[in-house]
Amino acid sequence: MSRKCKESRIAVLGIVLAVWGCSKEPAPAQPPPVREAPAGVQAGPGDTRSLGELPFVEGSSVTEVFAQKLGKPTSLGETTAVHVKLPPPANRGLAGSLVRVVGEPSSPTVLFRSDTLVRLGVIPASPGPDFFTLFARLPDSEVELRAERERRLASGAFGMPTRETVLFNGRHPAARYEGLPMDANAFAQGALVPQTSCPQIPASTEAWWERTLMIRDPAVVLDPARTWDPCTGAGTKGGVWTFAHLMREMAQGSGASPEDFVLDWLSLWLNDFQSNGDTVPARRKMYDEVIAPWAAASGAASSLEFNAATNRWEVVLRQPLDLDIAPFRLLSIVNRIDLGGSSEYGGMSSNPGELRFIFGLTRPSPWGGGTEATCNLKPFTVIFEYGVPGEGCRAITGWARQWVGLGMYPAFNAAYRSRLQQMTESVVRHGRAPGKGNQNALNQLRTNEVALGFPWELREFHLTDEHPGTGRDKPSNGFLRVHTLALTPDDATHDSRTDPEVDSFVRTHVKNGVEQPVVVPGHCTARFTVPYAVNGRPFQGANALVAPPTHWEAVSAVSTNATEVCARKEFSSNTCNGCHFKDTGTNDFTGVDNLAFTHVSPTLGIPARQSKFLTGGGNGFMYAVPDAQFGAQVASWPFADLLRRHQRLQELAHCSTCGWFIDLDAGYLARMEALAGSVPLDVLPGAPGSTFTVGPIRDVGVVQQLLELRPGLRIRPRELPIDFLEPPAARVH
């Protein structure tokens, strides 16, 4: 490979990944063998490929964060310069600005071009022209602690270590590299110390995935002390991992009984509803498939009646549903710590991600007294998605270490299940999120089903009042409410193949957010939001249908334009439609090698089967899916999401360095505007605008003045990971 390939991450990935090879690149000390696909695995919609095919690159070439100890503390007591390689601004007018402002204007993160700070004598050295600097207080003890954790990893204390890490470009495996250690001596002497992933982590195995990321083992999901199986009647009614328990905790503070809370939620399918201008037709088979059989099993007479006074269909029950015999069977408990961090990019916040419970619908006969053969499993999943309580570096790393601790158990034994219960209860119990609806930590509840009608439909519910006009949700007590789907347009009014509004949105807003330079398929990420309205018309939808649409196209995108190809893929794969079908290759109807419409199957028994989007086709493999619009001749997008999540978990648990960063008052931006005439606020494409005049700052003298303003406009310090400005690789799915 050329010198340019070695020196540039983008060049390496772009040149090599287009042909899936880089034969002249030096190999790691112990390269993994190129493995054959597992026996019986067929290509299906995509191809299963060995991760060993990925090029090997130098760890220094992928470093995007450096820490550098200052010769003396700043006037705010900060001891360390943190240099971050920011992508080009989404607002192209900010190119060349010496200052960048990211995050919410009410709580901005302000960074200064590193080269400019060298010129002003503020820092001794810069990592390069694409880097921007902010300051932190990084205690020596934190550096020493990381060095100790790295030593323990290398010793095998957490399992057989590997030096090799797979570099993910967003969610796509892109290359292999060796992480670099946190050199405490070099840091103490003021050197630029790279903050990459761990130099060694426990090797990814399916056992790690099963114990720490997506727990599906029968010992857990059929745990007789904590679950109840509506098919067989085995287990404990109301156990801590049952649908009943989660709903009872969620209903507290709603003003209704848990039984009425659940019935109200199920009744949302019985009538048409409208959100953000999107009218969602009723699916009254909810009564036939779920409510009526459940009521009968509860010993309650029921009927579906039309109320002429309200012009709505309503369920009449002679007695409440028995929550303890709910027809929802636990399929998996899921750790989504990979969703932790800032909500999108640059905000001074950091959280431990999500904890999820996936349930599958059954219609057992007999109810609670049969066998696996009489379950009558339905293509219908319900996912409870909780925001793990906590904020800041310690909350994230502490939560990560709890999961790693679970991974150290040799089996799903009583001790493992007891520890897992403590963790899940710390999230789902009433009162764990005082600032949210019903004081419940739920972020959203999602459903994905075709049991009530064709095509497949996804819906989303929150404990919030949604305000499309302002783009803000307001936490509110009460029942679950319908909510627009994240990042997904209204497929009732927008054609997924030929819609000019979708096309325009992708080729402007999304395209403007594509990180440059882009090379398909090696380097393709985009920062964007999907607004409630485009061109004054509602855009975000209140439900999503799948097959059709199977994905979203930009009809006038040119296949030779890499940025437009990337923009289409980034937009479509982040919608509910694309994520659950063609963009992730979840369109195999055989039920053997891959799943259709779901990433965790509710109909193939226990343990529930996973899509190859998650597994890559097996440990050591990646699943390459042809571009949904242009086909494999333009790009095949690889996935191995459980490997990505494993690496992120281990990095957070062992190699996340915590520093103290100082918040600036929102008035700082007003002073900036008064000094410079504009604020270089990098607002994401599609996001609500700000009241500031947005523009670049190119005057070195203004930079000096802005540095001097900081002490008078500080608020408080927050302890955050050094790399908190790195956007999450995954978004909501």
* Domain residue ranges of the chain, discontinuous segments joined by +: 3-58, 63-138+657-721, 214-466+475-482, 500-605
Q: Give the mean pLDDT of the chain.
A: 90
Q: What is the dihedral sign for C-alpha 340, 342, 344, 346?
A: negative
The token pair at 195 is 């903050």
Query: How many Å apart are CA 51 and CA 64, to the nearest integer?
Result: 23
Q: So what's the pLDDT on residue 591?
A: 58
In terms of Cα–Cα distance, which of 291, 328, 16 is closest to 174?
16
Q: So what's the pLDDT on residue 683?
A: 75
DSSP 331: E
pLDDT reading at 715 higher than 90: no
In terms of Cα–Cα distance, which of 343, 358, 386, 339 is closest to 641?
339
pLDDT reading at 730 higher than 90: no
pLDDT tens digit string along 467-521? 998 888 999 999 999 999 999 999 999 999 999 999 999 999 899 889 888 988 8
What pLDDT band is residue 28 in, cutting at 50, 70 and 90? very low
- Residue 194 bridge partners (DSSP): 66
pLDDT reading at 559 higher than 70: yes
The pLDDT of 268-291, averaged and rounded, is: 97
Q: What angle do CA 37, 381, 530 make, to 5 degrees?
A: 85
The pLDDT of 325-343, averaged and rounded, is: 90
pLDDT tens digit string along 42-81? 345 889 999 999 999 999 999 999 999 999 999 999 999 9
What pLDDT band is residue 593 in, cutting at 50, 70 and 90? low
Task: Give, rounded to a whole angstrom, the gap between the first and last alpha carbons of the chain.
Answer: 36
The token pair at 556 is 């006038």
Q: So what's the pLDDT on residue 104?
A: 80
pLDDT tens digit string along 155-203? 999 999 999 999 999 999 999 999 999 999 999 999 999 987 899 999 9
Q: So what's the pLDDT on residue 108?
A: 84
Does residue 634 contact residue 565 with C-beta atoms inside 8 Å? yes
The larger pLDDT score, comparing residue 91 to residue 336, is at: 336
The larger pLDDT score, comparing residue 730 to residue 289, is at: 289
pTM of the entire predicted model: 0.93
Q: So what's the pLDDT on residue 689?
A: 60
Q: So what's the pLDDT on residue 344?
A: 52
Q: So what's the pLDDT on residue 595?
A: 84
What pLDDT band is residue 709 in, cutting at 50, 70 and 90? very high
Q: So what's the pLDDT on residue 105?
A: 83
pLDDT tens digit string along 374-422? 999 999 999 999 999 999 999 999 999 999 999 999 999 999 999 999 9
In terms of Cα–Cα distance, which of 437, 332, 339, 442 is closest to 387?
442
What percent of the chain has a predicted confidence (pLDDT) above 70? 91
Q: So what's the pLDDT on residue 719?
A: 94
The larger pLDDT score, comparing residue 37 to residue 553, is at: 553
